[in-house]
Chains A and B, each alone.
Chain A
Amino acid sequence: MAAPAVGSGGAALTGRSLQRQLQRSNRLRRLQAAALVAPLLLYLLLFFLWPIAGMLWRSIDNPELRQVMPQTASLIQGWEGQDLPDEAVLASFAAELRQSYQDKTLAVAAKRLAYESPGFRSLMFAAARALPETPEGSWRATLTGLDPKWGEPLTWAIIQRAAAPWTPIYLLAAIDHRLDANGGIVAAPADQAIYLGIFLRTFWIALVVTVLCLLLGYPVAYQLAALPPRQSNLLLILVLLPFWTSLLVRTAAWVVLLQREGVINDLLIKLGLIGEPLQLVYNRFGVYVAMTHILLPFMILPLYSVMRGLPPHYMRAAASLGAGPVRAFWRVYLPQTVPGIGAGCLLVFILAIGYYITPALIGGANDQMVSYFVAFFTNQTINWGMASALGAVLLLATLLLFALYARLVGIDRLKLG
């Protein structure tokens, strides 16, 4: 900054114009840098932030009823929740029910309503099929005559809630809660309260896998860092080989190894260690083994990169000052590798909580993680609200854990390589 001004008319340049020139060139440089980064930023915005925002929005979005029955949706908002909605609302509902049945759009609305009360789908379709064009007496009598459920305020309360611009039901369901008849938040019944348990299971499996990776990966990384480059590079290739194999192939390979008549059971029986084959797969054990194997490189690589940079004379200094190998390791070496441990653990943990295919193929019914249910709601029942809500809760929980981690370990001590 303080470079002497050298120009053709150096004396003519006042301090001010020099400053301006400097500012201009700085601004140019900043613009150039921004232009270079812009494609990446744009990419992140489009393919990372935008989908996440979309997911968060979908977890509270409530468009179905307003699309299919726009008039009823706006009219029913005026209902106070006492008795039944008045005749004008019911007439609009009846007309739009018949119309949407003819236009084949009713299924969308019926499906949305069934999320809050499973019988709603057939209730709507039965009414749509049977409703006359003009009421017999009043619409109230006509509807109630078809099914007594149309005479219950709860039925209309659900429709009213479904007509609001946004809904908390997906997020509530993702934490095992629901809305009761009066719109209060209550715990879901025991046979439907599954997601909190599944979140806990997801984090527990991820934690166990992270600890296993650390215990297995640390000595390997140490060895790699201690060897001369020629040998360590060769060994690194072995660590990296799994990277070049498809996740699905590695998962399937573990099934072959661990199954009842698989390689490991055969070997143990031949050695006479066991009489009966052990159940090694389709349970939690198999999930731990396969996930640890798949995620191990993500632990080893950051550890290795940190260890490689540590000057060896610190350990020698510790030894010359009288520390034994254990003490020297504990007090001198280990603290220096904390950034690598932090990075490795974070990488493995965050990858592990999103695992889907490995538990699906190797786990039992109670080893499935959150992603399994996200996939289920996305692909099979096409309930994107629920899939998004599970994703949103998982994201939130992960961010909280990350914040906790940043507080405890310190984000500046992270070293990814």
Chain B
Amino acid sequence: MRAKPWQIGMLTAVCGALLALGPVRSPAAADLTVTSWGGSYQDAQRSIYFEPFKQASGLDLIEDNWNGGVGAIRAKVEGGGQEWDVVQVEAEELVLGCEEGLYEPIDWSALGGKEKFIEAAVNDCGVGAIVWSTAVSYDADKIPGDGPKSWADFWDVTKFPGKRGLRRGPKYTLEFALMADGAKPSEVYDLLRTPAGVDRAFAKLDQIKDDVIWWEAGAQPIQLLGSGEVIMTSAYNGRISAANREEKRNFKVVWPESIYAVDSWVILKNSPHKESALKFIEFASRPENQSKLPNSIAYGVTNKDAAGQIDKALLQDLPTAPENLEQSLQLDTEFWVENTDALTERFAAWSAQ
């Protein structure tokens, strides 16, 4: 019997799916494997850190990329077949993994001492690599004149009519809501640690519930803003600057009341290349190397001496520019490690009502 066309289609679909899973590339026995976040960010890291380090050290460095999650780290460490040596992790993964003993302790003396780095970059298990921000962003071509200046403006739907974009989930959202309600950045987490503070944040969110489009992936807010779907949105600052540079957009980042956090380099427990790993982190933390990063992507650097070597024109776009830093709030990792589950359930219940 001849195959019906749809059977061939089904077969093609299955084969396609199998192909998409792809041949699994197993990193050969290299001297060092470094894992970061992929995309344009890793492209920048490659030219600034990876390639020059290979040249300078003569070591064979290979790359991998990942999408985060402490579960992935746990699998690598406990799974035995160690492939990753150095990984760039988010603040929460740093805290959780450190508590679980998934990382090697950092020898800070090899890096020139803790005092060389900004406070948020120093941890027993990791070395801060970049500082990123999430902030109100808007298209200055669509809001000429005075744009929003705070989360209170973001909540003001009469002054700025239109939809708003926010990340789906309680993280950042509750902080923003409290600041919109008049809380000072410095008191946000103290408030959130009380039930009344959480109630207050959700009550504030009620006010704009019908005006919010919730985004999920970091690239979405840029797309929402670019297509005019939203009049303003929370977004990661590096992507905003990248859209301005690469797509000739006129997006603005509102620095006051933004939230910043640090991504860190860690060395996985029982890495066979501990020494090379530390050497690489030292190389990537040198001021002369770090200061090149903002040329490619607008994230702040962690070595205090690097800040002075950054082009003044670029500096103002970075989360670490002094005038940006002093108006913003650092993400309280401990708070979210403790409360993510409970608040996520509450957020889901709230959004379903």
Interface positions of A (Cβ within 8 A of B): 103-108, 114-115, 118-119, 121-122, 125, 190-194, 197-198, 201, 233, 236-237, 239-240, 243-244, 246, 255, 259-262, 281-282, 297, 301, 304-305, 360-361, 364-366, 368, 373, 376, 378-383, 417
Contacts and interface: CB of A to CB of B under 8 A. Distances in A.
Interface in B304-353: 337-342, 344-346, 348-353
Contacts of A103: 101
Given A191-B346, A194-B348, A282-B213, A121 B338 contact: yes
B71 A104 contact: no
23 contacts: A104-B101, A114-B338, A114-B341, A118-B338, A118-B339, A191-B349, A191-B350, A194-B345, A243-B12, A243-B13, A244-B12, A259-B227, A260-B227, A261-B227, A262-B227, A297-B9, A365-B212, A365-B351, A366-B351, A379-B71, A382-B69, A382-B70, A417-B7
Contact of B344 (A108, A233, A259, A376): A376
Nearest to A252: B223
Given A194-B349, A305-B4, A365 B214 contact: yes
A380 B216 contact: no
A246 B20 contact: yes
Contacts of B339: 118
B340 A381 contact: yes
Contact of A282 (B74, B214, B344): B214
Nearest to B217: A361
A237 B6 CA distance: 8
Nearest to A376: B344
Contact of B5 (A192, A236, A364, A366): A236
Interface residues of B, number: 45
Contacts of A282: 213-214, 229
B228 interface: yes
Give the dominant DSSP class at A's interface: helix
Nearest to B103: A104
Contacts of A240: 5-6, 9
Interface string B203-227: 0000000001110100010010001
A107 B100 contact: yes
A360 B216 contact: yes
A381 B344 CA distance: 10
Given A194-B345, A365-B168, A107 B338 contact: no
A365 B168 CA distance: 7
B9 A243 contact: yes
The 7 A-B pairs of least Cβ separation, nearest first, read A104-B101, A365-B351, A240-B9, A107-B99, A194-B349, A118-B342, A382-B71
Interface string B82-110: 00000000000000101111000000000
Contacts, number: 115
B16 interface: yes
B18 interface: no
Contacts of B229: 259-261, 281-282
Given A198-B352, A244-B13, A381-B341, 7 more contacts: A103-B101, A105-B101, A192-B345, A194-B349, A259-B227, A305-B4, A382-B69
B196 interface: no
B16, B341, B346 — most chain A CB neighbours (10 Å): B341
A192 B346 contact: yes
Given A259-B229, A304-B6, A192 B337 contact: no
Contacts of B13: 243-244
B99 A106 contact: yes
B214 to A, nearest CB: 5
Nearest to A260: B229
Contacts of B353: 366
Contacts of A198: 348, 352
A105 B163 CA distance: 46
B258 to A, nearest CB: 23
Nearest to A103: B101
Contacts of A122: 338
Given A260-B228, A380-B69, A243 B341 contact: no
A259 to B, nearest CB: 5
A244 B16 contact: yes
B10, B340, B345 — most chain A CB neighbours (10 Å): B345
Interface in B43-96: 69-71, 74, 96
A376 B168 CA distance: 12
